[in-house]
Amino acid sequence: MESRGEEGGSAGDTATSPIVLSLTVKFSGRSIPVSLSSDSTVKDLKSLLQPLTNVLPRGQKLIFKGKVLVDNLSLKSSDIPNGSKLMLMASQGLHQGDGPITKDKEAPTASSLTRPTNQGDRPMVGKKIEATVDKTQSQRWKLTGVIALSDSQLKVVPAEVWDCGSSVRLLDLGKNFIREVPAKLGDLTSLQKLLLHANCIVDEHFSWEGVTSLKSLRVLSLNHNYLTAIPSSIGSLTSLRELHVANNKLRSLPVEIGELSQLQILEANNNRISTVPSCIGRCSSLIEIDLSSNLLVDLPETFGDLQNLQALHLRNNGLKSLPSTLFKLCSKLSTLDLHGTEITIDLLRQFEGWENFDERRRSKLQKQLDFRIGCSEGFDEGADKD
């Protein structure tokens, strides 16, 4: 038996049994090693490359020896041997997260951090400086409760901010170069609005302890930083109405987000979030959710519990379907963005409640059109034609 396996079994088994292929995919100056079965399809390989490149499968074009590989064919049928090198080309716009991961987009280090670029930011020229605060300005902060230091080229939070203590209601430090937010933030006990977007904040220098002790906080903006996680202590911010964490490096949302029963706006687009906890359904006040450009493949059925939800943005994800009760139970939903997903209009029409949603959607679009026409001095219905 053993001899027969060596003589006749080897060639036959090789032809029929799948083997593990070790491949190298060339993409934007990178060499990406992957391993998968020879029976896997080209589409399976694209799905494997999705989180490694931030490119959606339908935006990927895989090329081997000058030929474009066909999605439904197996790697074995495509004559791809072990050790092969493939080339990946990406279609513009069909990406997730903060865009395709290229050789130049390395993870930031302590010495290389600079402020993330935002649309409309003016370029920095010369050396970054630290703003000085005079006594008069500090007194004005205490009197008004508003500290506005946006776009002030700050590298650290001025000490005078902490001196204002419980008199501060709004602290705007957006569009600076701040890396460290200390626990002293918790001394601003009356703070209702904290804006820290477009800085250089990383996990190890950001005191979530200070933030989550702010029991009056209603708005928290951390867009365009380098955060990779939100701690469970976020659940203690029970007064929070708006949470903005877009354009970071988040991989997930904490289960404790379900404790934010007053939350109305959740902006978490352009991250690397692959799952949404089912407890999201307990955030009963949510009006708008933006999870665009992440790594989502499905959503929990508890989305149907969000009966106040009006807008849901899901573009550029790997979604193939939606929670079955979304249209039926979310009776206020009128905006649904699914561009760049695999969900088709034919699939949506099969969901219970689609007709009512479609009517709300069309009504809203008509109102927007009527408003634009009404605000225009003149309207030419053929203006968009040659």
Per residue in 219-268, pLDDT (tens digit) is 999 999 999 999 999 999 999 999 999 999 999 999 999 999 999 999 99
Which of 55, 90, 125 is the C-terminal boundary of a domain? 90
CATH for 309: 3.80.10.10
**pLDDT score, position 382:** 36
**pLDDT score, position 92:** 64
State the amino acid at position 73 in one-letter form.
L
291 assigned to some structural domain: yes
Q: Give every CB contact of residue 43 below 8 A, 6+ residues apart in sequence.
A: 57, 71, 72
Same domain membership, residue 143 and residue 68: no
Which of 25, 60, 90 is the C-terminal boundary of a domain? 90
Which runs of consecutive H residues, i.e. helices, occur in 61-197? 135-144, 159-163
146-168 mean pLDDT? 94
Same domain membership, residue 251 and residue 147: yes
Same domain membership, residue 256 and residue 167: yes
What are the CA-CA distances from residue 315 to residues 33, 123, 152, 253 (Å)?
A: 28, 29, 34, 18
Same domain membership, residue 145 and residue 281: yes
**Structural domains counted in the chain:** 2
Contact 45, 70 (CB under 8 A): no
CATH for 61: 3.10.20.90
1 assigned to some structural domain: no
Contact 318, 341 (CB under 8 A): yes
108 assigned to some structural domain: no
Same domain membership, residue 250 and residue 197: yes
Same domain membership, residue 141 and residue 80: no
Domain range enclosing 49: 17-90
Q: Give every CB contact of residue 311 below 8 A, 6+ residues apart in sequence.
A: 287, 288, 289, 333, 334, 335, 336
Same domain membership, residue 142 and residue 80: no
Same domain membership, residue 139 and residue 78: no
Contact 226, 108 (CB under 8 A): yes
**pLDDT score, position 104:** 58
Q: What is the dihedral of CA 50, 55, 56, 62, to 10 degrees?
A: -80
326-342 mean pLDDT? 95
pLDDT band at 25 (very low <50, low <70, confident <90, very high): very high
**pLDDT score, position 52:** 85
Does residue 384 carry a pLDDT above 80?
no
Does residue 106 carry a pLDDT above 50?
no
**pLDDT score, position 136:** 81
Average pLDDT, the chain: 85
**pLDDT score, position 56:** 83
Element (H, E) at 260: none
**pLDDT score, position 95:** 65
Residue 205 buriedness (CB in 10 A; 0-12 / 13-18 / 19+): middle
Angle in degrees, CA 5, 3, 21, rounded to 5? 35
117 assigned to some structural domain: no
9 assigned to some structural domain: no
128 assigned to some structural domain: no
Same domain membership, residue 44 and residue 185: no
Same domain membership, residue 338 and residue 224: yes
**pLDDT score, position 16:** 58
What pLDDT digit, counting tens, does each position of 28-79 carry? 888 999 988 889 999 989 888 888 888 888 889 999 988 999 999 999 999 9
Q: What is the dihedral of CA 218, 219, 225, 229, to 10 degrees?
A: 30
214 assigned to some structural domain: yes
97-118 mean pLDDT? 53
Same domain membership, residue 227 and residue 144: yes
What pLDDT digit, counting tens, does each position of 170-213 carry? 999 999 999 999 999 999 999 999 999 999 999 999 999 999 99
Share of the chain above pLDDT 90, in %: 67
Which of 90, 114, 146 is the C-terminal boundary of a domain? 90
Which residues share a beta bridge with 87? Answer: 26, 63
**pLDDT score, position 138:** 85
Same domain membership, residue 184 and residue 75: no
What pLDDT digit, counting tens, does each position of 116-155 carry? 544 444 334 344 444 456 668 888 999 999 999 999 999 9
**pLDDT score, position 375:** 59
179 assigned to some structural domain: yes
91-111 mean pLDDT? 58
The torsion angles phi and psi of 172, rounded to 5 degrees, stand at: -110, 105
